[in-house]
Amino acid sequence: MPVTETSPIIATAPQSELRDDYLKTLRCMILSRTLEEKLGSLYRAGGRIVGGVYLGRGQEAFSAAAGIHLRWGKDIYGPLIRDQAGRIAYGEPVLDTMRTYLGAVTGPMRGRDGNIHRGQPQKGYMAMISHLGSLLSVVAGALFARRLQGRLGDTAGATSIGDGGTSTGAFHEGLNMAAVEKLPLVVSVANNQFAYSTPTSRQYACENLVDRAVGYGVAGHSVDGTDLLACMQVFRTAFENARAGQGPQMVVGRLLRLGGHGEHDDASYVPDIKKHEHEGRDCLIVAQRQVIELGWATATEIEDWHKNARREVDKAQAQASKEPTPDPYRENWHALSTPELVEGMNE
């Protein structure tokens, strides 16, 4: 399988064709950043958010460019820790994020799980568990079932992993299996150079993660994760290939995590010099400059998008804050869906 290097200069699709999707994606990035800034400040203020806050700052372009290629209710998506932007682009309402972080029972996880561990599997939107690497085979299985049932059609699946997560056995097993089954799966590998505090030099010994694609027998793509246009191009190609039956596509994005592992972490272990390297650019600033240069939007429009995003986030926060949190006395405490098999039910 070819390993394609995509750079912004060698466009695989004419730029003009990408315009509409690009603008949609950029707005998702803005909404995501606005939402995450709110989550960060709620966390720092204390009280409202129980548990951790894990943000995707600096990874919005790479994440949203994948998410925008997925159709809510049709395609399968298994996002991970840094995929707030991808989730928005896929179609998850901001309100669901707020509800989950604030533990509202009205949210998809009903207070039973929180923060990034959310989804609606019945709709093809998988809810990650913490164990890295383990979601890949689940997304693959969903695609496998659709094919078995004769309703795969042009469905695609997508999931993400970080540089650290690629070291798990589960990731290896899952990708190998998906390749054997030649499933229409796009795997985003966000190489943000750190796994919590561990640099990639302690994570793997290969030159570049994309080189692994050949070993798995899947197509490999590599992209500058700070460049929205490049990300749009590479994911468009990857999804087209996947939907056309060419098997799994592995897209490796080079970037830097612009923040701590979670909001509890000051990331003091990230050397300052990294922040000044190309990968340390803020993809949102880059995209906002890019969109003006391309003549696709004006500074005023961008400012309006930010305003709208703030309004949407504030509204979601106001609503989720009013909603009830779980009541242990109304919880049925059933881990099984078959009531007759729940122990102690006859007592």
Ligand X SMILES: Cc1ncc(C[n+]2csc(CCOP(=O)(O)OP(=O)(O)O)c2C)c(N)n1
Interface residues with ligand X (CB under 6 A) are 81-82, 130-132, 162-165, 168, 190, 192, 194-196, 257, 261
Which residue's C-beta sits nearest to ligand X? Answer: 162
Q: Which two tokens stand for residue 265?
A: 């972490």
- Distance (Å, whole) CA 42 – CA 59: 21
What helix, strand, coil percent values describe the chain, rounded to 5?
45, 10, 45
Q: Which residues of 76-94 are buried (b: 16+ CB within 10 A; e: fewer)?
A: bbbbbbbbbbbbbbbbbeb
165 binds, among other proteins, ligand X, Mg ion, none (CB under 5 to 8 A by kind): ligand X
Give the interface segment with Mg ion, choosing from 39-47, 74-82, 195-203, 266-274 (CB under 5 A): 195-203
Task: Pick out residues in 86-125 that bind other proteins (CB under 8 A).
Answer: 108-110, 112-113, 117, 119-122, 124
Which is closer to ligand X, CB of 130 or CB of 300? Answer: 130
Number of residues located near other proteins, criterion CB under 8 A = 49
Q: How far is the CB of 217 from Mg ion (least distance, A)?
A: 25
Amino acid (one-letter) located at 257: R
By the rule CB under 8 A, 16 interacts with other proteins: no
Amino acid (one-letter) located at 127: A
Nearest one of 225, 333, 345, 218 to 277, comparing CA atoms: 225
Instruction: Please report which helix (H) or strand (E) contains residue 217, including its range.
Output: none
**Residue whose tokens read 């709110």:** 38
- Distance (Å, whole) CA 54 – CA 259: 9
Task: Pick out residues in 23-62 that bind other proteins (CB under 8 A).
Answer: none
82 binds, among Mg ion, ligand X, other proteins, none (CB under 5 to 8 A by kind): ligand X
- Distance (Å, whole) CA 92 – CA 294: 29
Number of residues located near Mg ion, criterion CB under 5 A = 4
109 binds, among ligand X, other proteins, Mg ion, none (CB under 5 to 8 A by kind): other proteins
> How many other CB atoms are found less than 10 A from the CB of residue 58?
25
Give the interface segment with Mg ion, choosing from 79-87, 184-192, 209-217, 234-242 (CB under 5 A): 184-192
By the rule CB under 5 A, 119 interacts with Mg ion: no
- Distance (Å, whole) CA 97 – CA 79: 13
Q: How far is the CB of 74 from other proteins (least distance, A)?
A: 12
Q: How far is the CB of 190 from Mg ion (least distance, A)?
A: 7
Which is closer to other proteins, CB of 121 or CB of 215? Answer: 121
> How many other CB atoms are found less than 10 A from the CB of residue 9?
6
Task: Pick out residues in 132-161 that bind other proteins (CB under 8 A).
Answer: 134-146, 148-149
The 3-class SS string of 244-307 reads CCCCCEEEEEECCCCCCCCCCCCCCCCCHHHHHCHHHCCHHHHHHHHHHHCCCCCHHHHHHHHH
By the rule CB under 8 A, 131 interacts with other proteins: yes
By the rule CB under 5 A, 195 interacts with Mg ion: yes
Give the footprint of other proteins on this chain (CB under 8 A).
76, 108-110, 112-113, 117, 119-122, 124, 126-127, 129-131, 134-146, 148-149, 169-170, 173-174, 176-177, 180, 334-338, 340-343, 346
Give the footprint of Mg ion on this chain (CB under 5 A).
162-163, 192, 195
